[in-house]
Amino acid sequence: MTSSASSRRNGARRGPYKPGQIRDRNFQLIIDAAEYEFARHGYHGTSTQKIADRAGIAKANIHYYFNSKSNLYLEVLDNIISLWNDFLDDVSVEDDPAEVLDKFVRRKVALSFSHPQASRVFAVEIIQGAPHIKEYIRTRMRKWVTEKAGVLRQWSAEGRMADIDPVHLIFLIWSSTQHYADFETQVLTILNRKDFDANTQRQVADFLSATILRACGLSTPAPLSPRTS
Amino acid sequence: MTSSASSRRNGARRGPYKPGQIRDRNFQLIIDAAEYEFARHGYHGTSTQKIADRAGIAKANIHYYFNSKSNLYLEVLDNIISLWNDFLDDVSVEDDPAEVLDKFVRRKVALSFSHPQASRVFAVEIIQGAPHIKEYIRTRMRKWVTEKAGVLRQWSAEGRMADIDPVHLIFLIWSSTQHYADFETQVLTILNRKDFDANTQRQVADFLSATILRACGLSTPAPLSPRTS
DNA sequence: GTCTATAATCAGATAGAC
DNA sequence: GTCTATCTGATTATAGAC
């Protein structure tokens, strides 16, 4: 990954312009517009003209800021990956399995509803063979899974949850939660709804948390602290 | 959907040429090549030249057979949908919940491993808003879900399985099974494997069947007849 | 830093010889 | 029925004025 975008991702629209603020604002406008277009039309289906139109910026500026369409796409992916990366970082075998899994599922569901476009760009990238992020998957993502799987495995060994393959359990959680972002059109059409209202979002979170916990031989934890949906 | 492809989908490569055989063979060669390319690069990322190269056929012939790239894509989607359509057609409340769900999950998993490209073309189509198959989802697919959900709901009402939202259960089964086709690259990379061997395929089927049945408060059915993987 | 005009490339589609 | 050559339009990228 190219990275280095994060340092430029702040300060937009705050008071009178300081040096770099226009740049920061346009940078973010382009990234957001690009994410929208890439999610909806894929990499090749998206023209830089469309991105420029959506961002309200002249097309030439996109090349001025990012040099190439390919580079812009990499920045978008980089943006998305940083969203994905702060899950369960601090989990340990001392924690309560039900609480951890409940929190994991609910945070994943929340992310699906708050950043569906990001999820879709990522999904299409992987479906098409992950040409740009294979290295990321092979290293960081794989390490993350291996670590969490270790904790889950130990919980199973100690009889604190069902004896269930931890890696495939993680796949199950990923797939079932992301489904509501990636397949939004299908889900909404079948539910005969126009969008995911707050009620439906809670229903999905409750359903997936309860179902997955039951599959792990656990029961839903009592909500000690009020939940941040 | 346009349809009418099915009638032309036979007779390839059998003995001396009869009228229409060359046509049938080329037709199928193009469809297969197109499915591969569309799955890998998306609609806009695929050029008719690439499809022609893979099919070993001159580019102009693709237009001769299908008139347009868009038409060819519709035929590919049509092909895929007919694969998806014969699931649980004959299920009724008299059946055994565990047996039905076990069979459903296993057939879905088998399809993910046997036709991953088809699954991916379908997935990208939906992720990008299902522009070509929204009608199909709104009518046939929705009807299918409503019918099966009714049966599941009754099973729950009769206490023959856990009280679980049937529609979201279907989404869970779809998402978790298709994950192995659509996100194949990610799954294989994390498992550190080159492909899905027979062992892994059986492991996935066993895992998903057992996990989903447990989530439904059911136990794995005894295998009465040998399974067709 | 921004925009207009344009160059260079490539894709889908078609005409017409075989 | 098949293939080569070509047309037409769209897209990325850049040059250069402001």
Percent of chain B whose predicted confidence (pLDDT) is above 70: 88
pLDDT of residue B4: 39
Reported as a single tens digit per residue, the pLDDT across A145-159 is 999 999 999 999 999
Assess contact for A3 and A16: CB atoms under 8 A: no
pLDDT per residue over A37-67, tens digit each?
Answer: 999 999 998 999 999 999 999 999 999 999 9
The more confidently predicted of residues B225 and B43 is: B43
| Residue A116 Cα, gap to closest chain B Cα (Å) | 10
pLDDT of residue A94 exceeding 90, the answer is yes
**In chain B, helix, strand, coil percent, each to 5?**
70, 0, 30
> Which nucleotides on strand D sit less than 7 A from a protein beta carbon?
1-5, 10-16
Q: Which nucleotide is nearest to A70 (CA to C1')?
A: D12
Contact B42 A45 (CB under 8 A): yes
Strand D closer than 7 A to residue A59 Cβ: yes
Please check whether residue A214 touches B, CB under 8 A: yes
Is strand D within 7 Å of residue B127 (CB)? no
Statement: the CB of A41 is under 7 Å from strand D: no
Contacts of B116 in chain A (CB under 8 A): none
Which range (B19-28, B123-132, B137-146, B211-220) has the least confidence? B19-28
Residues in B closer than 8 angstroms to A128, CB to CB, are: 39-42, 45, 120, 124
Question: Is A104's pLDDT higher than 50?
Answer: yes
Report the C-alpha gap between B99 and B81 in whole angstroms: 25
Q: Are A141 and B190 in contact (CB < 8 Å)?
A: yes
Work out the pLDDT band at B225, boundaries 50, 70, 90.
low
| Minimum-distance CB partner of B128 among A40, A176, A212 | A40
Q: How many DSSP H helices and E strands does chain A contain?
A: 11, 0
Per-residue model confidence (pLDDT) at position A220: 85
Minimum-distance CB partner of B124 among A124, A207, A208: A124
DSSP 8-state assignment for residue B8: G
Q: Is the CB of B23 under 7 A from strand D?
A: yes
Question: Does any strand D atom come closer than 7 Å to the Cβ of A58?
Answer: no
Instruction: Look up the pTM and report it.
Output: 0.89
What secondary structure does DSSP assign to A141-165, as a single string?
IHHHHHHHHHHHHHHHHTTSS----
Q: What's the confidence (pLDDT) of residue A65? A: 93
In chain A, residues 103-162 whose CB comes closer than 8 Å to chain B: 120, 123-124, 126-130, 134, 137-138, 141-142, 145, 162
Going A56 to A61 to A62 to A65, the CA torsion angle's sign is: negative
Given this model, what pLDDT does residue A86 score? Answer: 82
Distance between the alpha carbon (CA) of A58 and the C1' atom of D17, Å: 16
| Better pLDDT: A19 or A92 | A92
Residue A207, CA distances (Å) to A93, A176, B46 in order: 25, 11, 39
Residue B6: pLDDT above 90? no
Per-residue pLDDT band for A190 (boundaries 50, 70, 90) equals very high
How far is it, in rounded angstroms, from Cα A36 to Cα B128?
11
Q: Give yes or no for residue B36 having a pLDDT over 80.
A: yes
pLDDT at A16: 46
| Least confident among A207-221, B10-24, B32-46, B145-159 | B10-24
Per-residue model confidence as pLDDT tens digits over A170-189: 999 999 999 999 999 999 99
Across chain B, mean pLDDT equals 89
Comparison of pLDDT for B226 and B171, the residue scoring more: B171
Structural element, H or E, at residue B103? helix B97-114
Question: Residue A18 pLDDT > 60, yes or no?
Answer: no
Burial label for A154, CB within 10 Å (0-12, 13-18, 19+), is middle
Residue in this structure with the two tokens 């309560």, named with its chain if needed: A96
**Is residue B137 predicted with pLDDT exceeding 70?**
yes
* Helix %, strand %, coil % of chain A (to 5): 70, 0, 30
pLDDT value at B1 more than 50: no
Q: Which nucleotide is nearest to A63 (CA to C1')?
A: D13
The band of B19, judged by pLDDT with boundaries at 50, 70 and 90, is low
- What local confidence, expressed as pLDDT, does residue A84 receive? 85
Residue A2: CB partners within 8 Å, gap ≥ 6? A71, A74, A75, A78
- Count the Cβ atoms, other than its own, within 10 Å of residue A113: 20
Q: Which segment of B20-24, B61-65, B195-199 scores lowest on mean pLDDT?
A: B20-24
Task: Name the band, by pLDDT with cuts 50, 70 and 90, for residue A7.
Answer: very low
Q: How many angstroms separate the CA of B63 from the C1' of C15?
A: 13
Residue B24 pLDDT > 70? yes
State the virtual CA torsion across B115, B116, B120, B121 in degrees, nearest 10: -30
Rounded to a whole number, what is the distance in Å from the CA of A119 to chain B's nearest CA?
10
